[in-house]
Structure formats: C-alpha cells, structure tokens
Structure 1
Amino acid sequence: MKPIWVVDDDQSIRFVLEKALAREQFSVRCFASPKEVVKALEDDSPQVLVSDIRMPGGSGIDLLAAVKARHPGLPVIIMTAYSDLDSAVSAFQGGAFEYLPKPFDLTKAVELIRRAVDESLREEVADAAQAQAPEMLGQAPAMQDVFRAIGRLSQSNVTVMITGESGTGKELVARALHKHSPRGDAGNKGPFVAINTAAIPKDLLESELFGHERGAFTGAQATRRGRFEQADGGTLFLDEIGDMPFDLQTRLLRVLSDGQFYRVGGHQPLKANVRVIAATHQNLEERVRQGVFREDLYHRLNVIRLRLPPLRERREDIPMLTRLFLGKSARELGVEAKRITESALARLADFDFPGNVRQLENLCHWLTVMAPAQVVEAKDLPPEMLDAAPAPAPAATSSDTVEAPAGQAQPVAQAVGESVPPPWLADLKREARRRLDANEPEVWDILSKQFERGLIQTALDLTRGRRIEAAQRLGIGRNTITRKIQELGLED
C-alpha cells in the first residue's frame, strides 16, 4: 500500500498526525506546502492525501484541483475550521472525500483516514476487476451459468429464446451470443440488428421487419429495406416477441421455416441469411394456451432457452454493478465518480429491485446527481429503499440456466418456510412483561436505551473503538453514533 501524504504548514499538525498514523501501521510522508506535493506527484502518488486548506504559497482547494486532474480517484481529505462553511462547500464541489474540522479529535481523524484508505483499496480492486473482465455481467453462480451457456453456444447458429424479467439485460446477452458466434466479431463480423416488437405500432411493424416496396401503401415513396435484410449475414434480435401481433407471427414462422420472405407490396422472394434470437419477459406457454401466440412458432423459436435471473437472485453482484454504474454515470455527466459505503451497499442488497439491473443503473444516475456528498451513505438512498423490509432468503433454483424446450419437466423452486423469531426477542418480551406488570415508569425509554447501548457497545468492541467504522457496520450515520454515545454515557 502507498503512504498517506499529509500537507500542512503547521509542523505540530504534521507531527501529531504522522505519529498517530504510524501507531496504526500506516506509512506517512509529510509536506509543508502545496508546491512540494505538486512536485512529488511527478514521480509518485499517495494512497490518501490529507491537506490543510489555508497555507502560504497555495490553498488546499487549489491543490485538490491539481491532484484530481492527475488522479481522479484519489481520496483527498481537507482540514478546515469549523466556521469555514464556504471552504467546506468548495472542498466537496472539488471532489474531496471528506473534510476534517479543526481543532480535530485525533482518534476521529485517524478513523476518517482509515475509512478513506479502505475506500481507496476497494476502488483499486474494483477497477482491476473491471479492467480484466470488461464484458462480465456478473459473478453470481446464476450468471456464471449464463456465461457457460454463451460459451457452449459460441460456435452455433441455433435459434435461442432468452427469457427473464424486464431489466435483466436480455439484449446484452443477445449481443454477447452474436459477438462470440461465427456471425459476430469472432467470425465474419455480420451485423447485429435489434427490434422491440412491443414498441412499434402494429400497422408499422410488418414494414419494419420485412421492408416495403415503393408505393406499397400511402407514404411509401421509396423502397425500404427491413430488419431482416439489414441483418443479412448477422443476427436479428426480436425483443418482447410475446407482444407480436398474431398475423405477423404467421409471416415470421414462414421466414424461420423456409428462409424466405417478401417485402410489403413485393412479389420477388428474398433470402434471409439471418440468425434469430428472441426474448420475452412473458410466459409464452400461457400465451399459447390463451390462443394469442402460435404454438408452432413457439416451438420454432424455443430451440434453446436461456433464462436470465432477476437481480434478487444474484444479490452478490449488486456491489460490483453499483460501482460500475456509478463510474459510468460520472463519465456521462463529466463529474468525479461517487463512492459508496458498505452499509449503503448492504441496504441495496436487501432491496428486491423489481426493475432489476436497469433499475439499479437508474438509481446510480440518481445518486450521482442527488447524493449530497462524494461518499454515498445508507441515509442518502431514496426513501423507497430505506423503507423496504429486508429481503427473504432466496428459494432454491436450478443450477442449469439452459432450459429444455416446452413439454419437458421443469424444476420446482423450494418454498421458503416461515421465519422463526430469534431467541433474544422472547427474552425481551419477558423483560417488558415483568416491568409492565410491576407498573414501572418509562419502560419504553429504559429498554430502548439498553437495546441501543448493547448494539453500539458491541460494534465499538468489534472495531476497537473506531466510531466511524462502528457506525458503518450498524448502518447509521457518524453524527448519529456520536450523539448516541453521549446520550447513553458511553464516552471513554
């Protein structure tokens, strides 16, 4: 790990911080002015930079801008006076990790620096993983099954049906199937053409798919190539195939059966050298039973079925995806990427995400714009996620993602049993009953304080008294834990 750099014109501040950080096994390098830091950055860089805001020969805000220009992801902590609100705002606007008010409590200062170091190390690991595997959609077992299926299908031109809820990334998988097939980048570099059949009006969809001849209908002033022609030699992705009108299903079936089609208003048959990948979030078997989807087309499309798991079945991917989307949002908006605490990630992992990966990506856009600080904490999340109940344990699922065609047995998910109250809750009820029977006053206040005291003391014991880390583990803010420690008499 790289050293922590401390820059302050006050020799006593440098000395105190250097000794305190050395006791925590951190390597430290001290500077007396911003100019020295800028010169040192030509050959080296720190893990974390801690800088005073007002120094002879330059300001901490100017130094922050210079550092961020060279190392955008480097955590910078700005030391400033309590009353210097403008400086604090400028620090955050410039991308500071946090600001440290002077005079500061040494223990709190070390805790803050430790948190900045942890964030820096996590970002380095995430960046390295992203650089090594830029095409990875997830690391959960369910997604690894998807990757294995793509690998098995890489040398095939077989028709594939992708099923999964909205927002699970069906088009991304279709693109991967194309890219790694003989028609894609690894082979003849054929085109990948996508069309959402649910997004195009019924009277225009036929022309979109098959094209039209000049004069075929009012407004057809020129011959137009349809998506099948555009995808010649490549892959045609038919998204939301379950919403295709019934009469168009007949034309699609004919193309899949004999490989030929006609433009609207045309009389010359055209050859379709196209691999078809279809996708839907609907239950096609049920739509066949309802008579709104052709059974013969269903069997023609359902040669290989690839199921994409919803995000709630791959919760271990949420931290990686969140950091990926925060970085993507920052690049699109031209700002520094927000960082996110472990407590906030834990809260996200408890959320069911009915909109799946698309909803998580939209949330990261929201956080990039709306989160007040550079580090996103649990309290910064939208209200619907803060109010959500913890997610239940996932039901058992099939380990094989490539499903059999209709008619074969499908795995049945194991039901989740009722939750059993923890033993301590029974003890709490007995204690509350005893006090209430005895007509003791302020039962709520007494038991609530005992409960909070036990939680906070346990967290402090685990973190060896580091309050910020204890707050993170408990999922509360640092101001909250400081206030509670004072109220409950837990001061050292």
Structure 2
Amino acid sequence: MDGTILIADDDRSIRTVLTQALSRAGCRVHATGSLQQLLKWVEEGRGDLVVTDVMMPDGNGIDTIPAIRRARPDLPVIVISAQNTIVTAIRATEAEAFDYLPKPFDLPDLLSRSRDALARRPRKSDLAPQFRPVQTIPHAEAAEVADRELLLIGHASSMQALFRLVAKVLNADLPVMVTGQAGVGKSTIARALHEFSDRTGGPLVVLTPADGASDTLARAVQEARGGTLLIENPAGFDPAAQTRLLALLEQTDSSGDAPRLVSTAGPDPQQEMDEGRLRADLFYRLAGATIAVPPLSARRDDIPPLARHLMARAAAQGLAERPLSEEVLAELRGQDYPGNVRQLENLLRRLALTGSGPVTLDELREMPGQQAAPAGQGAAAPRAVSRPSGGGAGQLSASVADHLQRYFDLHGDALPPSGLYDRILREIEVPLLEIALDATGGNQLRCAELLGINRNTLRKKLSDLNIQVTRRRRVM
C-alpha cells in the first residue's frame, strides 16, 4: 500500500496505533488531534487519504468533509466514530465520505478500506492542486437534536449493517419494508427513512390495519402524494382492504408525485404470505428492499449505551435524572428482553418514576418481571450472548426452557407461529458459531475442530447464515 494518509483523532492512543499500522503497511502518515491542522495540511496539498474522527475538540469531522472537498475534490475521506447512531451513518453518506467505520473497529478492516480508497482515487500528479481558504462548518443543530432523540443506537455489526443499508436506500426510488420483532424500533426506522430523505418536506401519512375502510385508504394515499406513505403491518389488514390498497397503489404509479412506500412487518413476512395473511402481490409491491431489525437479545453490548440514552431522554421529559452504575448496566445487559427496546424503555421509565438518585441493583431486581442475571454476566462478561457460568448443560437447558416458556407466555392462549423448531435452532446456531469464531480469532479450521464438525460444513453454515468472518484485532 502506497500513499500519504492524514489522520485526525483526539485520542492519542488511536493515533499511535493507526500510525504504526499504516506505516508498517508502507504508507506515510501525518496524525493530529486538531481539525484545523488537518485542514491546513489539505490546503497545502498533502495527503492521498483522510481518516477522521467525528467529535473533535475544535469541530465535527463530518461537517469538515465539504470543506475538504472544496479544497481537494479528489481526496477520499474515511470517517471513524464512537457516535454509533443511524444519524452518523446517514450524515457520513450524505457528505459523500468514502467510507464510515464505527469504533471500536477492526484494524485489518480499516487497512483494507484505506487500500481501496488509495487505489480508486486519482494520483495528485494527474490533477491540478486547488488551494482555497476553508473553514470548519459548524455542526448542524438539527442533527444534534436527532442524535439525542433517535433511539437507533448500536455498535453491533448487525446494527451497523442496518445503518449502512438505510443510508443507501434513503433516497432510492423503491419501496422499503422494515421487518423485525415487536418493540425493536421498526416504526422509528421507517420514520427515519422519511425524516432524513429528500421527501422530508412532504407529508408522512401512516396507515394501520384500523384504517382499512375504502374511503380512509383512498384519502391516505391521496394525502401522501409527494411524501411518504407508511403502512404498518400490512398482513393485519383484512383481505378486502389489502385488495383495495394494492389497487390504489397501482393507480398512483403513473403520477409524478406518487408517495414513497415504506412498510413495517413481523420478523417473517414470507411466512405471513405463505399462510395467506398477506397477499403475495401486495408483499412484492411493498418489499422492493427489506431492512431486518435485529432483536435486542442479539446485540446485548448495545444495551448499556442505549439504557443511558433512554434514561437521559426520560430526564429531558421531566422525569427524575437517575444515574446508572456499571453494576446496574451489567445487570441490564444480562436480562432477556422479549419486548426489545420498548420493554427496556418502559423499565427505565418506571425506575425514573418510582425513585430518585442512582439506581441500585436491589431496586432493579425488585422491578416487576426482572430476574437476577446468571452468574458470569456482570461487567466482565465480554460476549454479546448471555450464558450461565458453570453447571454445564443442565443450566443451559434450564435457561433455554425459561426463554421458551416466556416466548409461549407472550402469545397467551394462542400458539406461536408455526415453524418454531427451525427458528429456535437458527437462534441457537448463530450465536454458537459467532462465539466460537470469536474465541478462535476467526480461524475456521480451529473453530471447526472446537465445534467437532467438518470445515466444509462450517463454511456452508457460515455462508447460509450470512456470518462474516475476519481475523481481527480490535482498536478501541
């Protein structure tokens, strides 16, 4: 890898690690903790690539990208950030950053993306340098508000993949279906697709199964012209309403101001279609692109920052400001949340309503529906999947039994959707493979030996389950 890389990060340790790694890879590196210094280097014509943090003492790295592009339109910029929200991913995409990486990131991943950026840009010798005065663009107040209010926070790879996909389809001319369990934030993502798109000046009209009357559907489609029509749970509309809705949508296709279609659905809309609850033609009309939102149990490491955000939000709404200790956050991380983010938010709001001062561990455990976290799930537990320590298969079997019983209880007198056997096996298989890969540093041969399966079998499972494998070193 050949080129000069400009690094801007206020964390000295990150600057040191990146400088050493990129230098060993053959690059020349200039590192600074100041955006003003970075812009000075850009003005002077230095650098073939910029790697910048977002939150800096003298400005915002994303807001600086337009200034960099005015001075050097050819200079690619990679954004790294601990602000792991959908807003950050969208803003980096809108600013035309070459790439965006959340912290902590994998060092080999950054090296690979830096190599791609250097390979794709024109060399400075082929371009006339453009030296223009530049200044840091102040951080947009509206974006700061969105960062505080938006509940879409997550460093988990599944959430970062979701953020990237949202940014890509934000202004694409195709319908989007957001799928996932109840309470994961499907409606929040669906609304973000409108609020952050170029249709934000137009209307956002929401349709629910309760709006299935013919005149209501027609009025909603008409009112949504030039904006976004959000259809909540299309499988919940009765068959006649689905037919009317499909006909109305097809009638608007020929108009120049047809609404953007965004819908929300359960975790398996294909099954809803197979069972006859969702018309196949309506499904294909709405699912131009599908965004699957992971359950909270699949991204436990996101629970502490999400809990802090939710508690701060409750305080901003007039409830008690109650700090969360590391011990309490570890306990929250160890809980199961069949109600997902909505359940976590309700729990924290109850804590804000019923007490004052720092939340105590005993107080949390006494809340209705809470159970003590299994041993080994405190602050030192490094995995994203909860596991009881000690006790062997007996405790694991009991934990699975408890989880399944809660799942059945959620459906009351009704049975869960069919296909439960395969769904449960998939839910167990994915974290098992991910944890085993993590424990073996991404070495597939060692992982296969650890699991006691053939290496080819492991590769097929990783491919079928869309599990990415990297040998990585984490950079905090």
TM tier relative to shorter chain = 0.3 to 0.5
